[in-house]
Structure 1
Amino acid sequence: MSTNKDYTIAITAADRASMERQLDEAVTHAKAQALQGGQQGILVTRINLNSFTVALSGTVRKTVCEGPA
């Protein structure tokens, strides 16, 4: 299991629906990891048309959103 410090998920999607589902799942999992410790935020990076990474990063400010205002 990866620690918060080196937490990264790579995503490659075949279509838009798959991309959205995988990104939602990865961000949800990353959020749970970020809330467990540290002051890291979630960084989503588009590598190319259908590839992304979702990672915890100390360069991204940690904020907690609880839903629409």
Structure 2
Amino acid sequence: MTTATLERLPAVSPADEAAEFPSIDLEFSSAEEVHEGLDNAVATLIETAAKDAACGILVTRLHPGRYTVALDESVPFGETYENIAA
């Protein structure tokens, strides 16, 4: 079973110092689900990233079966980086 949650953050007001970016939290119950699930999440965020061309995508493995896929301004536009949380 795959669980995915797209977090849509509220619009940032001019008073806010940093913009918030959307992320997708994923949890997989089997290794077979991971590849397709991550591909789908990245494809979803590519559409959002392309609108502003301001950031890339960061895929973070939180622990086995648990991932976060997020737009991240530290990642150059058009690129996807992978990270393993310590």
TM-score (norm 1): 0.80
Larger Rg, first or second structure (1 or 2) = 2
Matched, 1:2 2:8: yes
What is the rounded CA distance, in whole Å, between the counterparts of 1:47 and 1:38 in structure 2? 26
Q: 1:12 maps to what in 2? A: 27
* SS of alignment partner, residue 35 of structure 2: helix
Unaligned runs of 5+ in 2: 1-6, 10-18, 80-86
Question: Structure with the greater relative contact order (CA < 8 A, sep ≥ 6): 1 or 2?
Answer: 1
Q: When you count helix as a share of all residues, which structure comes out higher?
A: 1
Bigger proportion of residues as strand: 2
Cα deviation, residue 13, structure 1: 0.4
Q: Does 1:22 align with 2:28?
A: no
Q: How far is 1:17 from its partner? A: 1.7
Instruction: Tell me which residue corresponds to 1:67.
Output: none
How much has 1:5 moved relative to structure 2? 3.5
SS where residue 59 of structure 2 aligns?
strand
Matched residue count: 64
Q: CA deviation at 1:20?
A: 1.2
* Correspondence for 2:84: none
Q: Which residue identity lines up with residue 5 of structure 1 in the other structure?
A: E
CA RMSD, Structure 1 to Structure 2 (Å): 2.0
Q: Identity over aligned residues, as a percent?
A: 27
- What is the TM-score of this pair, normalised by structure 2? 0.66
